[in-house]
Chain A
Amino acid sequence: MITLENVSKVYKGDVTALSDATVEIDKGEFVFLVGASGSGKSTFLRLVNKEESPERGRIFVAGKDIATLSSWKVPYLRRNIGSVFQDYKLLTNKTVYENVAFALEVIGRPRHVIKTQVPAILDLVGLAKKVGNFPNELSGGEQQRVSIARAFVNRPLILLADEPTGNLDPATSVGIMRLLDRINRTGTTVLMATHDRSIVDTMRRRVIELDRGSIIRDQSRGVYE
């Protein structure tokens, strides 16, 4: 589903974010990206949905080489990739329902599709009773659920999560992880960057560890270390 071949990414001022990374992630896998801050986890995720382009190497997503993807096709790539962030990135002037519907609206989904899919996904993430609330009326965990609903409402092949539990307490984090696990069970490949030791150790999924841009460990059913 996601393949990196000798990928290097260097930012301005010779900051190596990723160096000669080669990795293959299959469809339906759940993968943790771990490592210290600045080790290249976020860059890894940003390369997959082409927010960044690598200096060297090739990246395949769903069988397509995205390095050669022309810029007008990038939106279509991103429709297959859901993204979740530490800071949720919700629109504060829109309700829970509108936030999720917005994601479908702007990719031109017909209204009847929006009307059926949005309530269904909000029910799945356990927010059926909060559809009319605004983000600032929700707890952090609930906001992250809205963000996950928005990322998943279009049923993407891949879900990228960049520290989704970074702002949440342990109990709430467990709830979010259950949700991501459930999404993974529908066949969606989940790639999650995290610092949360207990989550990684509890889930026992594949772990890829980065250190200053290099992959130093790739372990199935791994731990945080």
Chain B
Amino acid sequence: MAIKLDYVARETATNLTRNVTLTLASILTVVVSLTLFGSAMMLNQGVNNANDRFKGGIEFIVYLQPGSTQEQQDSVRRDLEANPDVREITYVDQDATYEEFKRLFGDSPQLVETVTPEILPPSFRIAPRVQDPDIVQELGRQFEDKAGVYDVVFAFEVVKRIQETFNKIGVRFLLAAVLLLVAALMLILNTIRVAMFARRREIEVMKLVGATNWFIRVPFIVEGIIQTLLGAAVAVASMTFVIRPFIDELSQDKVLPIFQGFEVTDANLVFTNLLVVVVAVVIGAIGSAVAVSRFLDV
């Protein structure tokens, strides 16, 4: 039997307006949970994109001791130049390092005040010819014990740290999102249950005159899905117009270099938004389906 569209539309509209507060509560929960979920997804994609960039120019830095002699520095440079795996060497002297330091810690003037160019290490920034992290690491390690060398730092260590940090943040975001999604699911379930309770007389009559189960159920399931879709619409809007510009802004921010290289592409955004909509439909369908199957026996 065909279920009439105008009937479903009319019934659903009545249901949605009958419990405005409860409906709003579930929609808002859906908004918050899906926004969190989507943000975690986008942040994760942003980190991946950032890592991709580092991969292209993977490099390590040989920091020299601030008090190293010119002779020691020349020796390190000669060895680097002689190494066939090294493509490019950039020397950053103490004044340039100080400028960089000032830029990085511009928001902590006290810290900058305690530092002078003399105590900062000059460094060689190396772009290797090969990109295999293992070979790069081996290459860098050769310089660790050389006279006048303070430390060798690999870019991918930094990348790794960023990745780990954001994985931790992402996992927490996702966990919070999942908890909120469960809350949203239970709220939907209860909204539908209240809607069914409000209409128990009609449901009783419908059963009595021989309306099929699906005929009775469909408006309630549609109601649940519409609630989560409304929530998803707001979540998609906030991710497109708030969260994504915010991540873009962070990636431009010189004060927080950890976000540098972050990029959320249009494809990432579309994918995330689609996923959010799919999750919304699934949550709405499950919540209302459980409600109708538990509280609407033949």
A interface residues with partner B (beta carbon < 8 Å): 49, 71-72, 74-79, 83, 89, 91-92, 102-103, 105-108, 150-151, 154
Contacts and interface: CB of A to CB of B under 8 A. Distances in A.
Interface in B1-35: 1-4, 7
Contacts of A72: 212-213
- The secondary structure that dominates the B interface is helix
Interface stretch (B182-190, B199-207, B220-228): B199-207
Given A75-B213, A77-B210, A79-B210, A108 B2 contact: yes
Contacts of B204: 89
Classify chain B's interface size: 20 to 34
Interface string B191-204: 00000000001101
Contacts, number: 54
Interface of B: 1-4, 7, 201-202, 204-213, 215-216, 298
B212 to A, nearest CB: 5
B298 A102 contact: no
Given A75-B213, A78-B208, A89 B1 contact: no
B293 to A, nearest CB: 12
A103 B202 CA distance: 10
17 contacts: A71-B213, A75-B210, A75-B211, A77-B210, A78-B210, A91-B201, A91-B202, A102-B202, A103-B205, A106-B215, A106-B216, A107-B209, A107-B215, A108-B1, A151-B209, A154-B209, A154-B210
B205 to A, nearest CB: 6
A79 B209 contact: yes
Given A102-B205, A107-B210, 20 more contacts: A49-B208, A71-B213, A76-B210, A78-B209, A79-B210, A89-B204, A91-B202, A92-B201, A102-B209, A105-B7, A106-B209, A106-B211, A106-B215, A107-B1, A107-B209, A108-B4, A108-B215, A150-B205, A151-B209, A154-B210
Contacts of A75: 207, 210-213
Nearest to A89: B205
B207 A78 contact: yes
> Taking each of B3, B7, B209, which has the highest tally of chain A beta carbons within 10 Å of its own beta carbon?
B209
Nearest to A71: B298
Contacts of B211: 75, 106-107
A114 to B, nearest CB: 12
Nearest to A153: B209
A16 B7 CA distance: 42
A107 B7 CA distance: 12
B32 to A, nearest CB: 35
4 pairs of A and B residues whose beta carbons are closest in the complex = A79-B210, A78-B210, A106-B211, A103-B209
Contacts of B7: 105
Contacts of B208: 49, 78, 83, 89
Nearest to A73: B212
Contacts of A83: 208
Contacts of B209: 78-79, 102-103, 106-107, 150-151, 154
A102 B215 CA distance: 13
A105 B210 CA distance: 11
B130 to A, nearest CB: 67
